Amino acid sequence: MAVLVPAVLGLAVVVIGGWLIFAQVKDRHDRAAAESQAKVQFASVSARIAQRLHQDHPVEYGAVWMTHQHRICGLLNAENSFGGLAGMIGFFTDGPNIRYGLDGGDPATFGQTWAKCGADTWVQILPGSMEQGFCATRNGAKHCFTTSERQVDNP
């Protein structure tokens, strides 16, 4: 009986280790296959974003990524309802629709989905800042500096 317990534990370690290695290899394979799909999907999404926003200038993007559920998530600097730039705000695809942090819908629903987006940055589409607000924009980076505690507007 005393010999059986270490043998069973050893077998369990081998099985679990093998499963973890398989899962990592599969994830790398799936990610490589999804990278080209993510870029094609983002090309369509970015065209719809530009069409919807009707801005006089090109849309500035921060980080953009695809989740395991093939949802495109990211940040963009969009005009607010007054015509000024709002700073980096979150967006994500919801089926064929694109949801923005400034849409004015239920903020709790947006926040829950946005949190899931941030927790699953599976395939990077565009590198960039994951921060929201003015300081994360190209123009904001010229006027802001970072302290050890928070980002501060530099007058």
User: What tens digit of pLDDT does each residue of 21-59 get?
Assistant: 766 767 777 777 888 899 999 999 999 998 888 877 788
**CA atoms within a 13 Å half-sphere pointing along the CA-CB vector of 145:** 3
Whether the pLDDT of residue 83 is over 90: the answer is: no
Cβ atoms of 88 and 62 closer than 8 Å:
yes
Task: Domain ranges for the chain, please list them.
Answer: 35-153
pLDDT value, residue 54: 80
* 3-class secondary structure, 1: coil
Task: State phi, psi for 127 to the nearest 5 degrees.
Answer: -75, 155
Bridge-based pairing of strands 60-66 and 97-100 is: unpaired
Which amino acid, one-letter code, is at 121?
T
Cβ atoms of 90 and 114 closer than 8 Å:
yes
What is the pLDDT of the chain when averaged over all its residues?
82
pLDDT value, residue 121: 93
pLDDT value, residue 153: 55
The tens digit of pLDDT for each residue in 6-23 reads 666 777 677 676 667 766
d(CA 84, CA 130): 21
pLDDT value, residue 62: 93
Selected residue with higher pLDDT from 96 and 79? 96
Residue range 72-98: average pLDDT?
A: 85
Q: What percent of the chain has pLDDT over 70?
A: 77
pLDDT value, residue 78: 75
Residue range 60-77: average pLDDT?
A: 94
